[in-house]
Amino acid sequence: MAVRSIAEAAPPTPWSRNLAEPTIDPSAFLHSFSNIIGDVRIGANVIVAPGTSIRADEGTPFYIGENTNIQDGVVIHGLEKGRVIGDDQQEYSVWVGENTCLTHMALIHGPCYVGDGCFIGFRSTVFNARVGAGCIVMMHALIQDVEIPPGKYVPSGAVITNQQQADRLPDVQAEDKEFAHHVVGINQALRAGYLCAADSKCIRTIRDELTKSYTSKGVNGFERSGEVYSSSLGAETVEQVRYLLEQGYKIGTEHVDGRRFRTGSWTSCKPIEARSLGEAIAALEGCLADHSGEYVRLFGIDPKGRRRVLETIIQRPDGVVQAPTSFKAPAASYSSNGSYNGNGSSNGSSSRLSSETVDQIRQLLAGGYRIGTEHVDERRFRTGSWQSCKPIEATSAGEVVAALEDCMDNHQGEYVRLIGIDPKAKRRVLESIIQRPNGPVAASGSNKSASTTATSFASTTATATSTKLSSEAVEQLQQLLAGGFKISAEHVDQRRFRTGSWASCGQIQASSLQQAIAALEGYLAEYEGEYVRLIGIDPKAKRRVLELIIQRP
């Protein structure tokens, strides 16, 4: 049974005496501390949080599409005059589409249209405006008297009050879309949880599960007050499992001994049919115990796309592997120094490519991206005049690895780089150098220090050295400068890293590679103990061409 808010008919006024009442889908959850007044049409699976005011007593009607979440303190109101055309071609004072996030303290004031799949950040205001589908509006922004084209990104604090400003906005990036999608998923889980909490039968079942969990799990793992603990799995692995369950993915595990690990001959563990995080963790711990002394890996399965979305090794023969602290949802940006643990895959392995590169290949294929390669000799490297290798039409990691090694063989003594391409957006999501003139690039986990690799790179380019930046970062920096791109940096602490709430360090006004390196090293020192990433920006297209993490806590 849904918990209902205080839903009231519209009051009689000089402009309307119809006393219209809200229309609310039974699957929606509206908190009892929210107020819904007048002709407000709320679709399926909507969640309305405490302290929300949705008042169709002046401007009317309002439409709120299915799967949308309206968070604490949001105000939706409208002027008596002025209407927008909704997706059903009818007139509304306020139209909010499907799968949209109106986050804490946002103000949506009609006449106003917010399209499907939008994200309106904390304390942002949208008034007398249209926000197209798939737009991301960050915190404390003002949008007034304009139409924002679909798929645009509005940064925090922006004031967009004329159409020229709106038309110049940059496009939303893949990681922004993934973050908005993640927020929708979180709020759908909250909606289901609140509805369950109001249903005595549902909550009794949960309490029975918890009681059973306390008595059966003992010291190995236990779940209490919504938190899950495990003595044999790292906290980040628990977070990965939680994410997979929240997104509706199935969970699987595989194991392999040390001899077969090199050939990628993995064998499935017992299927996991878990309905809760605690059950999933218990099943994983059972697989680890059954195959002690072997490799064990966790993966998620998209039941709709019938594909794997995540593969992470959680145990090696010498003990348990802690999941990487840089865990993010799959299909987000793939920085060249951020990868999941693993030295091989059932889809491909290589004696020449680093395990990190093989992991990147697997992640790109799992995300539906295309893969390409480019090469360039030392003379043209400084000008960024890369040439494509033979196109790769492979769909398995093994075939892609073979194609990459073929390109490396055909262009020995040159730079070779791996390219990830988003076929829908027709843009690159990854550029990672896998071979230099002196041979293949070593894995980032090798015992060479950043100082050694940077000095080695300097000897081949005779341009600049760095004791803090890796050779990969120096190369990327050089390519950005050679290509005429702008350079900036962003930082974020560990707590905010998971939400992707990066803050700008500032744009770098450098006329040489040495100046750019010095500026970046200054940021690394200033934000010691935080994540710092290098940003490359195409000033013509007004979009990012590179995001590379250059420091981790």
Q: Convert the pLDDT of each residue in 13-24 to its tens digit.
A: 888 888 889 999
Please give the single-letter amino acid code of residue 160: I
DSSP for 339-361 reads: --S-S-BTTB--SSS-HHHHHHH
- Confidence at residue 160, expressed as pLDDT on a 0 to 100 scale: 95
Same domain, 436 and 370: yes
Residues 424 and 441 in one domain: yes
pLDDT score of 305: 62
Assign 368 a pLDDT band (cuts: 50, 70, 90): confident
Which is more confidently placed, 471 or 218? Answer: 471
423 and 360, same structural domain?
A: yes
Pair 256, 163 in one domain: no
Judged against a pLDDT cut of 80, whether residue 285 lies above it is answered with yes
The whole-angstrom separation of Cα 213 and Cα 204 is: 14
| DSSP-assigned letter for residue 15 | T
Considering only residues 70 and 463, tell me which one the structure prediction assigns the higher pLDDT. 70
In this prediction, residue 332 carries a pLDDT of 37
Q: What string of DSSP letters covers 348-404?
A: B--SSS-HHHHHHHHHHHHTT-EEEEEEE-HHHHTTT--EE-S-----SHHHHHHHH
Is 334 or 431 the better-scoring residue by pLDDT?
A: 431
Q: With 80 as the cut, is the pLDDT of residue 67 above it? A: yes
In a domain, 454, yes or no: no
**Residue 155 and residue 68 in one domain:** yes
Residue with tokens 């008919």: 9
Reply yes or no on whether the pLDDT at 328 is more than 60.
Answer: no
Distance CA 287, CA 271 (A): 10
130 is written with which tokens?
Answer: 């249209």
pLDDT in tens, 203-250: 777 777 666 654 444 434 444 444 555 656 777 778 778 878 877 888
Rounded mean pLDDT of 492-502?
75
Q: Average pLDDT in the 381-401 region?
A: 79
Query: Same domain, yes or no, for 57 and 168?
Result: yes
Average pLDDT, integer, range 133-149 = 95
Give a yes or no: residue 226 inside a domain: yes
**Same-domain check for residues 21 and 150:** yes
Query: Does residue 477 or residue 84 have the better pLDDT?
Result: 84
Q: Is 191 inside any structural domain?
A: no
**93 in a domain, yes or no?**
yes
| Claim to verify: residue 223 and residue 313 sit in the same structural domain | yes
Map tokens 């390519």 to a residue: 479
Which of 41-50, 145-154, 533-542 has the lowest average pLDDT?
A: 533-542
CATH number of the domain bearing residue 102: 2.160.10.10
118 lies in some domain: yes
CATH code (residue 464): 3.30.190.10
Percentage of the residues of the chain whose pLDDT score is greater than 90:
26
Asked whether residue 1 carries a pLDDT value surpassing 50, the answer given is no
**What pLDDT, in 10s, does the model give residues 27-61?**
899 998 999 999 999 999 999 999 999 999 999 99
Number of domains in the chain: 4
Mean pLDDT of the chain: 79
The answer to whether position 394 is within a domain reads: yes
Looking at 2-6, 215-219, 272-276, which range is the least confident one?
Answer: 215-219
Residue with token string 């010691």: 528
Q: Looking at the structure, do residues 169 and 229 belong to the same domain, yes or no? A: no
Burial of 500 (0-12, 13-18, 19+ CB in 10 A): middle
Q: Are residues 298 and 167 in the same domain?
A: no
Confidence (pLDDT) at 212? 61
Task: Report which listed range, 214-218, 265-269, 301-305, 450-454, is most confident.
Answer: 265-269
Same structural domain, 333 and 310: no
Are residues 257 and 365 located together in one domain of the fold? no
Out of 180, 203, 227, a domain closes at 180
Range of 40's domain?
A: 6-180
The pLDDT, as a whole number, for residue 35 is 92
Q: Is 344 a member of any domain?
A: yes
Place of tokens 């929708």: 184
Range among 28-37, 186-195, 449-458 rated most confident: 28-37
* pLDDT for res 451: 33
C-alpha distances out from residue 436 to 132, 432, 455, Å: 44, 11, 14
Task: Note the pLDDT of residue 22.
Answer: 92
| Residues recognised as catalytic | 58
Mean pLDDT along residues 144-155: 95
Domain boundary among 277, 296, 323: 323
Residue 209 in domain:
no
174 pLDDT higher than 80: yes
Peptide bond preceding 111: is omega within 30 degrees of 0, i.e. cis? yes
Q: What is the pLDDT of residue 91?
A: 95
- Cα distances from 42 to residues 27, 48, 70, 198, in angstroms, run 10, 10, 11, 20
**Whole-angstrom Cα distance, residue 137 to residue 116?**
13
Higher-confidence residue of 176 and 84: namely 84
Per residue in 303-319, pLDDT (tens digit) is: 776 677 777 788 888 76
Domain boundary among 405, 424, 447: 447
